[in-house]
């Protein structure tokens, strides 16, 4: 089902819209996502990039090499610092919206926890979700763990 996802930063300088069915929703526990979110993990809504549209403002970007070895480009508001979205060289054509930046974050329904080998001991992961030590397709990933 196609949905209209709208969101933006805390100060209102940046607004986005995406009219598409999310490809997947997940929690990433890699150290890069922990650092960029300031929390235990990054809740991500993955959508096709060609359905994503900036409606207002110009984000600033930080480009780095993630734990996976892939180049990651993270968009955030230069005024208030809110993390908004990211893209990875490993997934061309897709963008991951930060669920906390959505106008209606109750739409977020994660399907899995990724990079759990980096999860913090104080992180209370949802026991129902499948757990991946890395990510599907990663050379070190085994069959997903169920808690």
Q: Give the closest residue to 112 by CA, choosing from 92, 90, 136, 91.
A: 136
Domains, the chain, ranges and CATH? 3-146 (2.170.150.70)
> What value, to the nearest 5°, has the Cα angle with vertex 64 and ends 143 and 4?
70
Neighbours of 120 (CB within 10 A): 13
d(CA 56, CA 14): 5
d(CA 134, CA 144): 9
pLDDT tens sequence for the chain (147 residues): 778 999 999 999 999 999 989 999 999 999 999 999 999 999 999 999 999 999 999 999 999 988 778 899 999 999 999 999 999 988 899 999 999 999 999 999 999 999 999 999 999 999 999 999 977 655 554 555 554
């Amino acid at each position: 089902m196609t949905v209209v996802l709208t969101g933006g930063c805390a100060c209102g300088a940046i607004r986005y819209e995406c009219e598409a069915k999310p490809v997947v929703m997940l929690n990433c526990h890699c150290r890069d996502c922990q650092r960029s979110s300031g929390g235990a993990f990054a809740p991500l809504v993955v959508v096709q990039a060609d359905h994503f549209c900036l409606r207002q403002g110009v984000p600033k970007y930080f480009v780095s090499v993630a734990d996976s070895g892939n180049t990651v480009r993270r968009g955030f508001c230069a005024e208030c610092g809110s993390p908004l979205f990211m893209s990875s060289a490993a997934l061309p054509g897709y963008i991951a919206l930060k669920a906390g930046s959505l106008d209606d974050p109750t739409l977020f329904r994660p399907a899995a926890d990724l990079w759990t080998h980096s999860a913090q001991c104080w992180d209370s992961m949802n026991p129902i979700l499948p757990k991946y030590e890395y990510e599907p397709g990663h050379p070190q990933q085994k069959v997903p763990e169920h808690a």
